[in-house]
Amino acid sequence: MNDDEIARRKKLTFAEAEGLAPLPVQLQRTEISQELRAVLWQFIYNQIKRQTSSGSFDTYVTGAWRTTLEAVHVLHCHRMADEFSASLSDILPSVKRVFEKGSYAEIYGWLQFVLRKHPPVDFAKNLQARPTYCRSPFRIVGGDVLYPLASDADARTVQQAFADLKGSSLSGGYEHLRKAAKELTDGNFAGAIRESMHAVESVVRVLEPDGDFSKALAKLEAKTNIHGALKRGFTAIYGFTSDEQGIRHPLLEKEAPDVDEADALFMIGACSAFISYLINKSRDVGLLA
The model's pLDDT over 154-205, given as tens digits with 9 standing for 90+, comes to 778 888 888 888 866 788 888 899 888 888 877 788 888 888 888 888 887 7
| 18 part of a folded domain | no
Q: Contact at 8 Å (CB) between 61 and 51?
A: yes
Decide: helix, strand or coil at residue 279: helix
Q: Are 121 and 147 part of one and the same domain? A: no
| 15 part of a folded domain | no
Q: Are 78 and 174 part of one and the same domain? A: no
| 11 part of a folded domain | no
Last residue of a domain, one of 110, 136, 162: 136
Which range is least confidently modeled, 211-215, 221-225, 238-242? 238-242
Q: How, if at all, do strands 138-141 and 145-148 pair?
A: antiparallel
Q: What total number of domains does the chain contain?
A: 2
Q: Which amino acid is at 248?
A: R
Hey, which residues does 54 pair with through a beta bridge? 59
Q: State mean pLDDT over 240-254.
A: 47
Which range is least confidently modeled, 7-11, 24-28, 164-168, 188-192? 7-11
Q: State mean pLDDT over 25-52.
A: 89
| 288 part of a folded domain | yes
| 279 part of a folded domain | yes
Q: Are 99 and 157 part of one and the same domain? A: no
Express each pLDDT in 87-140 by its tens digit: 999 999 999 999 999 999 899 999 999 998 878 888 988 898 898 888 888 888
Write down the pLDDT at residue 244: 46
Write down the pLDDT at residue 151: 65
Q: Contact at 8 Å (CB) between 41 and 100?
A: yes
| 212 part of a folded domain | yes
Which of the 8 DSSP states describes residue 260? -
Write down the pLDDT at residue 111: 94
Residue 252: which pLDDT band, with cuts at 50, 70 and 90?
very low
Has residue 12 got a pLDDT over 50? yes
Q: Distance from CA of residue 274 to its chain's centroid? A: 18
Q: Are 151 and 117 part of one and the same domain? A: no
Write down the pLDDT at residue 26: 64
Write down the pLDDT at residue 101: 95
| 208 part of a folded domain | yes
Which range is least confidently modeled, 25-29, 74-78, 193-197, 279-283? 25-29
Candidates 174, 241, 227, 181; CA nearest to 203 is 174
Q: Are 156 and 39 part of one and the same domain? A: no
Cα–Cα distance between 262 and 141 in angstroms, integer?
18
Last residue of a domain, one of 90, 120, 136: 136
Q: Are 164 and 242 part of one and the same domain? A: yes
Write down the pLDDT at residue 19: 57
Query: Which is more confident, 101 or 237?
Result: 101
Which range is least confidently modeled, 38-47, 145-154, 240-249? 240-249
Angle (CA) 82-84-87 rounded to 5° is 130
Helix H or strand E segment including 166: none
Q: State mean pLDDT over 148-154.
A: 70
Instruction: Work out the mean pLDDT of the chain and round it to a whole number.
Output: 79
Q: Are 123 and 147 part of one and the same domain? A: no
Write down the pLDDT at residue 9: 52
Q: Are 170 and 274 part of one and the same domain? A: yes
Has residue 42 got a pLDDT over 80? yes
Last residue of a domain, one of 84, 114, 136: 136
Residue 85: which pLDDT band, with cuts at 50, 70 and 90?
very high
Q: Are 159 and 280 part of one and the same domain? A: yes
Write down the pLDDT at residue 226: 74
Q: Are 183 and 285 part of one and the same domain? A: yes
Helix axes 261-284, 189-207, angle to 10 degrees: 10
| 245 part of a folded domain | yes
Hey, which residues does 60 pair with through a beta bridge? 53, 87
Q: Are 179 and 208 part of one and the same domain? A: yes
Write down the pLDDT at residue 246: 41
Q: Are 81 and 220 part of one and the same domain? A: no
What range does the domain containing 168 cover?
138-289
Cα–Cα distance between 232 and 211 in angstroms, integer?
18
pTM exceeds 0.75: no
